Structure 1
Amino acid sequence: MCGIVGIISEDSEQAKEFACRRMIESLLHRGPDGHSVAVKDSVGLAHARLAIVDLSVHANQPMRSHATGALIVFNGEIYNHKEIRNELLGNGVAFRTSSDTEVLLSAYDYWGEQFIEKLNGIFAFAIYDVRRHCVLLARDRLGVKPLYWVREAGRVIFGSEIKALAASGFVQLYVDKNAFSEYLAFQNNFQERTLFNKVELFPAGSIARIEASALTVSMRKFWQASILPSKSSAQDIKTSLHIALRSAVSSQTQADVPINSFLSGGIDSCAIATIASDNFDRIKTFTCGFMLEGVTANEQLFDERRNAESVAAQIGSEHYETVLGEHDFLADMHEWAWHAEEPRVGSSFPNFCVSRLAAKFTKVCLSGTGGDELFAGYPWRYQPAVSSSTWDDFVTSYYGYWNRMVSVNDLRALVGSTENSQYQPQAVFRELMDSARTRVEGSGNQFLDASLIFELETFLHGLLISEDKASMAHGLEVRVPLLDNSIIDLAFTIPAEMKVSMEANVSPGTYGSAGVSAMPHYATGKKILREVLSPYVPEAISGGRKQGFSPPFETWFRRDLSSWIEGDVLGSNSPLRDYLDIDVAFRIWREHLSGEKNHRLFVWGLIALHLSIASFMRRANA
């Protein structure tokens, strides 16, 4: 894992080198083991290295091909790099390092752009082909590794984080008012949109060819999720899934540094840590808990330290915990905001803190992220898929589950009197759902499978970006075995009824959205995955309820954080006043403060937006 940046322009080589150096210096937290810049022709590239595979200086980047002179900067891990290396060796290709970076570069030299189809890993990279005078940009299937870019004024500028683009000296950050409204609607931004005007996410599962002189861009998807259910028996599928799971953990625990694991207390991370422990004498595990004095009964369930401790004892791991209170957020919120950059789904603050703990002991942690989205872990969201008779009814009903922050009427009141009113959340949602529908033609439950594709491409994408920022803030690489190519491919062949069964009692919505105060009680999602993972964890975990990883914000906001929220987030000098009706925001806030309703998601959204604008953007533009 590393940080990468680049610029393609007709600026002088000196100007490009200066810009690249400023950009990469803003990302040294991602790569504390060394950084370097290379400029050739109209292309400048730079890299900050976190050394994981081949720790020698010969594996430093930017790396130059000894065969063609091509240059590469690469962030990520290629888990099948040894297999690709052996195939290239069989075709007479020579290597100077044992790094996966050189494998990427040599694979491009040998196969051209089609080499992307061979990769199993998490990555964002840029290759400058000096012979063809073009730059290739690519990002892994699901977007585990972020890559941002700006295209304007005769330049293409890209980097692992938004702050690097601002550091170039060519990009000034402004709030995109449509993105602001979209976040208030969905607690997320979809597709390539970011909170900042003209800054885009490079699309996941895509590769682009940029002609370095004309700056023309041709892009294609090399992978996109689609459902094609298998006719295999449930037992055969479980056997295949078990083999794929153990293989994925095995391949993702290969490195030249120790591999350790997060341990949240949920079934996914607990099983992965258990399987990983088979490969090492003793692994280290890391858990985040919360101070629970005076919190609600629902929030008591957020702390999973007891489950984590039981698994740590079972596998004999060297176990570490961090415990957070509201004072920790007040102390660290500006540092968190600098690394988070823009708000995405959920709260990545606990991830940021547990990553800081883990980084004191290790460079690499395994995570259980992805199991819920691939295997239908949120049954309360899928009720519209079994209760709707038409596609239009389903999309309308399902939209209600993703209008997470505030009600439709409150959203209209919040932004309706501003320039944001041009944003149409229902239309955006419908477009994404219609796209998902075209890729579930073979499904026995098209509504449910379309919702899983939507969640994979929106909700999971947001989680992955947040997890990357939270961990790489401390120079910590996070690997996600449940998102290995083999498991992704298998998951999309598993019929929906093997993944989830619906309960008769339906939760009224996501906890904390539109005033909902009850935690969902479902334990019926991820059926087949639970069965495969159950031998690795205690029964209390394998049959336990599904819940998210969140601080007890409902209570925290009403206590120590309340005066700061009123004085800063909603105060007279708050930048939020430029983008929403502050009186409406105050009315919703007071409903939460009084205990009349639970608006924790909305209040968190205001805090995240405030910090992104008042803290991150102000500092990045300085």
Structure 2
Amino acid sequence: VGHCRLSINDLSELGSQPMTSPSGRYLMVFNGEIYNSPELRRECEAFGSVFRSQMDGEVILHLWELEGSDCLKKLNGIFAISIVDTIAKSVTIARDPVGVKPLFYSYIDNRFGFASEIAALNALGINNGGLDPTGLAQFLTFLWIPAPNTPFKNIKALRPGEMAVYTNSGFVSKRFSPVFTATSSTISGTPSDLVAEVSAKIRQAANRQLLSDVPIGIMASGGVDSGLIWAHTSKYLSLAYSISWDLIQKDSEGISDDLASARLVASKFQTKLREISGDDWDESRLPPSADLFADPAYELVRKMAIAAREDGLKVLFSGQGGDEVFGGYRRHAVARFIGSKPHFSSLFFKGLYNLFKMKPGMNISKEYISRLVLALSEGDREKGYLQLCSYSTQKDRANALGLTTAEVSDDVVYKEHLEVFAVQPPNISFLRKAMSVDLNVYLPGLGLSYVDRASMEAGIEVRVPLVDLELLKYSLALPDSVLIRRGTTKWIAKQAALAVLPPETVERPKRSFGAPASQVGSNTNNDNSRGYRQSRYFSHACQVLEKYTEKFA
């Protein structure tokens, strides 16, 4: 078992890994941070445990001796863990419930291997089985691949909240943390009461994640999510980092306006802001981790992480997860409508879509309306919602991969999303069901993944307070009326932000973090039926896949 440590808590050699338990029975390697380790440490000490270091992860070993794998349910943090039991001759691996930290494995011909990166498993010489058509089709659909699939047939991603045990008898996986779903009973209180509670929970989560023996900075998008974290931790932050688009004066997506908002927040909290140009982002670069991403945000995060490392930092905060937790995507605003539309209306919307098909150069707002009409034309409301998250049609994928449409159908690529839809409680709203899919599949598959891979390339750990486990579980009981209110997405978070951020930051239209569509791909890989922006992103995905295939086929 090997480990490459990024030392953040207890910088001494005492925190080095692999680490053995006091009895010598267990051997651990651990990647991440355990934010409630101070409380858990005191609990272990009450049972007589003696710690050798101040490294937060050591508490896992002591808990494991006391409780075994049940201790995983107590951890509030981001982690990928491996525990070797030298007596039982077993290896247990586990991934945090939200999926902030990655963990990949291969079990083929009774040979087991695991790593934080796909590239490490390939380097071990494991039989990866070659490229997986299903994983590649999902990549062309979403710009990423949902767990457990990866680009390779014999390499799998451990799902968030999942653990697996390998012994000479075989390999078994199970969940130690259930899929996140909204509760059927909601928190009571007036909207203003709930805003105050959410503000307190966000502040507590952000301060809990300040656990560090090294300086901390923040990735500043100029939006509400990173702004809330910034507001509650500003006196502890060394630097802030934001992307500038120097060669773009104005773009239809408003991405070039982000920097002005970040500057406002930096001025308010007197934080030094380092501005990093996004103009020269490398569209053709493949992650050395061997992941497949076609979202430019990966490269932009990498640029910020490199800058932070140059400045001597090891930790950055990110606002990732705010949209999934508080209902911030435009598709959330229409989820209730998708869920309540009469079944017979599908034919009407199909006809409307044919009249409203996208044309090159159509502005982003009209393009989204057209995709919404396409989603409403689906007879199945779950698949209709997923149309809003898709960048290609069955025909597009089949043409790109040289397969039949049946091999890359919506049923095939939507499998993991539909499985989460299927376990939702029947008495919660369709909005909540859709948000659960985003929280359990979309967030760990894309947002958390590209942030982790891009930052770790530069030796930077990114922390995401808005998906702190305590805050997240609390949010699942919030009523719909404070998530989407009078057509405003993420209403409760915005109300909390108005108390601590400049109003210009809170009231500006929502922007996606990434490159302007004009800077991404081309417009030649499909029939443009999904619109200008999505067609360009699909084109970029095809270009990335071509390069990836040349390297790994």
Q: TM-score, normalised by structure 1?
A: 0.77
What SS is found at the alignment partner of 1:448?
helix
| Residue in 2 that maps onto 1:480 | 464
The match for 2:192 is 235
- Taking the aligned partners of 2:228 and 2:418, their CA distance within structure 1 comes to 32
CA RMSD across the alignment = 2.6
Instruction: Give 2:500's aligned residue.
Output: 536
Measure how far apart 1:173 and its partner are: 6.2
Partner deviation per Cα, 1:466-485 (whole Å, 9 max, x = no partner)? 11000000000000000101
In the TM superposition, what are the counterparts of 1:205-244 in structure 2 within 5 Å? 205-211=161-167, 213-228=168-183, 229-233=185-189, 234-244=191-201
Deviation at 1:427, TM superposition (A): 5.4
Q: 1:257 to 1:597 in 2, by over 3 A?
A: closer
The one-letter amino acid paired with 2:505 is: I
Q: Given the alignment, which residue of 379, 382, 387 partners 2:330?
A: 379
Conserved? CA contact 1:302–1:549, under 8 Å: no
Partner of 2:341: 389
1:465 aligns with 2:458: no
Given candidates 246, 249, 255, the residue that maps to 1:301 is 255
Q: Is the 8 A contact 1:238 1:528 kept in 2?
A: yes
Cα distance in 1 for partners of 2:533, 2:89 equals 59
Distance across 1 between alignment mates of 2:4 and 2:51: 22
User: Paired residue for 1:202?
Assistant: 158
Indicate which of 516, 524, 537 corresponds to 1:601: 537
Q: Which of 260, 264, 267 is 2:217 aligned to?
A: 260
8 Å contact kept, 2:250–2:256: no
CA contact (8 A) 2:398 2:405 kept: no
Distance 1:173 1:316, change over 3 A: farther
- Check conservation: 1:139, 1:145, Cα contact below 8 A: yes
Aligned amino acid, residue 247 of structure 1: Q
Match of 2:33 in 1: 77
Compared with structure 1, are the counterparts of its residues 82 and 122 closer, same or farther at alpha carbon in structure 2 (3 Å cutoff)?
same
Q: How many residues are aligned here?
A: 513
In structure 2, the CA distance between the partners of 1:253 and 1:142, relative to structure 1 (3 Å rule), is: same
Once the 2 structures are TM-superposed, how far is the Cα of residue 209 of structure 1 from its aligned partner? 2.2
Please give the alpha-carbon distance, in whole angstroms, between the structure 1 residues aligned to 2:110 and 2:388.
Answer: 42
Structure 2 length normalisation: TM-score? 0.86
Equivalent positions of 1:534-573 (< 5 A) are 534-555=498-519, 557=521
In the TM superposition, residue 324 of structure 1 has moved relative to its aligned partner by 2.0
Matched, 1:320 2:285: no
Matched, 1:125 2:77: no
**How many percent identity over aligned positions?**
27
Q: Does 1:290 align with 2:268?
A: no
- Aligned with residue 308 of structure 2, among 348, 358, 365: 358
Any idea what SS the aligned residue of 2:388 has? Answer: helix
The structure-2 alpha-carbon separation of the partners of 1:173 and 1:322, relative to structure 1 and needing over 3 Å to count, comes to farther
Following TM superposition, by how much is the alpha carbon of 1:548 offset from its aligned partner in structure 2, in angstroms?
Answer: 0.5
Contact 1:137-1:209 at 8 Å conserved across structures: yes
Shift of residue 354 of structure 1? 1.3
> In 2, distance between residues paired with 1:170 and 1:315?
50
Distance 2:182 2:171 in 1: 33
Shift, 1:296, TM fit: 6.4
Task: Work out whether residues 384 and 394 of structure 1, in 8 Å CA contact, stay in contact via their aligned partners in 2.
Answer: no
Distance verdict in 2 for CA 1:426–1:554, change over 3 Å = farther
Residues 1:101 and 2:57 aligned together: yes
Describe the SS at the equivalent of 1:291: coil
SS in 1 for 2:73: helix
CA–CA distance in 1 between the matches of 2:332 and 2:192? 27
Shift of 1:160: 0.2
Tell me if structure 2 keeps the 8 A contact 1:405–1:601: yes
1:78 deviates by 0.1
By how many angstroms is 1:109 displaced? 0.5
Q: Which residue of structure 2 lines up, in the alignment, with residue 329 of structure 1?
A: 282
Report how far residue 56 of structure 1 moved. 0.8
Aligned residue in 1 for 2:432: 449
Task: Write the letter of the residue equivalent to 1:544.
Answer: R
Please say if residues 179 and 440 of structure 2, whose CA atoms lie closer than 8 Å, have aligned partners that are also in contact: no
Distance 2:110 2:380 in 1: 46
Cα 1:588–1:357 change in 2 (3 A) is farther
Partner residue of 2:546? 610
Q: 1:586 to 1:203 in 2, by over 3 A?
A: closer
| One-letter identity of the residue aligned with 1:217 | V
C-alpha distance 539-596 of structure 1, shift in aligned 2 (>3 A): closer
AA in 1 matched with 2:391: M
**Greater RCO, 1 or 2 (C-alpha within 8 Å, sep 6+):** 2
Specify the code of the residue in structure 2 equivalent to 1:453: S
Work out the CA distance in 2 between the residues paired with 1:145 and 1:396. Answer: 28
Q: Contact 1:173–1:196 (CA<8 Å) still a contact in 2?
A: yes
| Residue pair 1:340, 1:469 contacting (<8 A) in 2 also | no
Shift of residue 587 of structure 1?
5.8
Post-superposition shift, 1:537? Answer: 1.1
**Pairing partner for 2:391 from 398, 405, 410:** 405
Letter in 2 for 1:613: T
Offset of residue 384 of structure 1: 4.4
Ranges in structure 2 where 5+ consecutive residues have no aligned partner: 344-378
Contact 1:263 1:308 survives alignment (8 Å): yes
Gaps (5+ residues) in structure 1? 1-44, 504-523, 563-584
Contact 2:95–2:159 (Cα < 8 Å) also in 1: yes
Contact 2:335 2:434 in 1 (8 A): no
Displacement after TM superposition at 1:286 (Å):
0.7
The one of 79, 85, 90 aligned to 2:46: 90
Q: Which amino acid aligns with 2:436?
A: I
One-letter amino acid of the structure 1 residue matched with residue 464 of structure 2: V
Structure 2 CA distance for partners of 1:312 and 1:341, relative to 1, 3 Å: same
Shift of 1:191: 3.1
* 1:115 matched to 2:68: no
Structure 1 residues 315, 296: CA separation in 2 closer, same or farther (over 3 Å shift)?
A: closer
Q: Deviations over 1:312-337 (max 9, x none)?
A: 11111122111022x4426xx43x53
Distance 1:303 1:544, change over 3 A: closer
- Counterpart position of 1:520: none
Q: Aligned partners of 1:597 and 1:148: how far apart in 2? A: 32
Amino acid at match of 2:462: V
**SS of 1:304 mapped into structure 2:** helix
Partner SS, residue 284 of structure 1? strand
Shift of 1:303: 4.2
